[in-house]
Chain A
């Protein structure tokens, strides 16, 4: 069964910490995405990547960065965590050709910044 795996289901970090959220997919997909989910706001795109070492900003990139050193792994980095980054983070992947498949999602990481 194909999978997108997010390393942590729950995470609690302190304000000012550098936080890494890891995502790994085993489908050889070119595209990978990081979304943030908040009540009443739906899912909003933070960053996406079409290939190794490639990245593009989504709708809400401020306060975040990403890293894609290998095709299967896409990391979201909070350089200095703040309380307004407390949220659910969802990773997804899709093939380069065939984005119409809609993407496969991980189970999410619920991050709390205190």
Chain B
């Protein structure tokens, strides 16, 4: 069975600074996808970024980028130039041959002035 681990229950970052959220996973599959979701207080899960396991290049979406280390089974999210609107719960998730998502326990990100 696949597992996803987020070891940071809470993180804090100052506005305009950079923060990195950690995620590790365990799987025996070779073909899979990894995701970071954002859940603001509105509760709507928003897909932030995704990474295909077969791609060596790290995914980037504007201020959001990942550091994907396949051998280490590590998938961290870097948020640059943090904004107040980035404050939310962030979930790391995995999907493999089945389409179901396996989630980590989440990291609550606070953004301070």
Same complex: yes
Give every chain A residue within 8 A of B91 (Cβ-Cβ): 42-43
B56: interface (CB < 8 Å): no
A113: interface (CB < 8 Å): no
Give every chain B residue within 8 A of A90 (Cβ-Cβ): 45
Give every chain A residue within 8 A of B102 (Cβ-Cβ): 45
Contact present for A102 and B44 (CB under 8 Å): no
Alpha-carbon gap, A87 to B101, bound state (A): 19
Q: Identify B33's interface contact among A42, A88, A92, A102, CB under 8 A.
A: A102
Contacts of B21-80 to chain A: CB distance below 8 A: 33, 35, 37, 42-45, 47, 50, 52
Give every chain A residue within 8 A of B35 (Cβ-Cβ): 102
Q: Identify A102's interface contact among B6, B50, B105, CB under 8 A.
A: B50
Q: Mark A7-46, 1 if CB is under 8 A from B, else 0.
A: 0000000000000000000000001010100001111110
Main secondary structure of the interface of A (DSSP, over half): strand
Contact present for B99 and A96 (CB under 8 Å): yes
Give every chain B residue within 8 A of A58 (Cβ-Cβ): 100
For B92, the closest partner residue in chain A by CB is A42
Give every chain A residue within 8 A of B42 (Cβ-Cβ): 107
A86 to chain B, nearest CB (A): 16
Contact present for A107 and B95 (CB under 8 Å): no
Give every chain A residue within 8 A of B99 (Cβ-Cβ): 31, 48, 50, 94, 96, 99, 103
Query: Can you list 21 A-B contacts with CB-CB less than 8 angstroms, sorted by A residue number?
Result: A35-B103, A41-B105, A42-B4, A42-B91, A42-B103, A42-B105, A43-B101, A45-B102, A48-B100, A92-B45, A99-B95, A99-B99, A100-B33, A102-B50, A103-B101, A105-B44, A105-B45, A107-B43, A107-B44, A108-B43, A108-B44
Residues of chain B having any CB pair with chain A under 8 Å: 4, 6, 9, 33, 35, 37, 42-45, 47, 50, 52, 91, 93, 95, 98-106
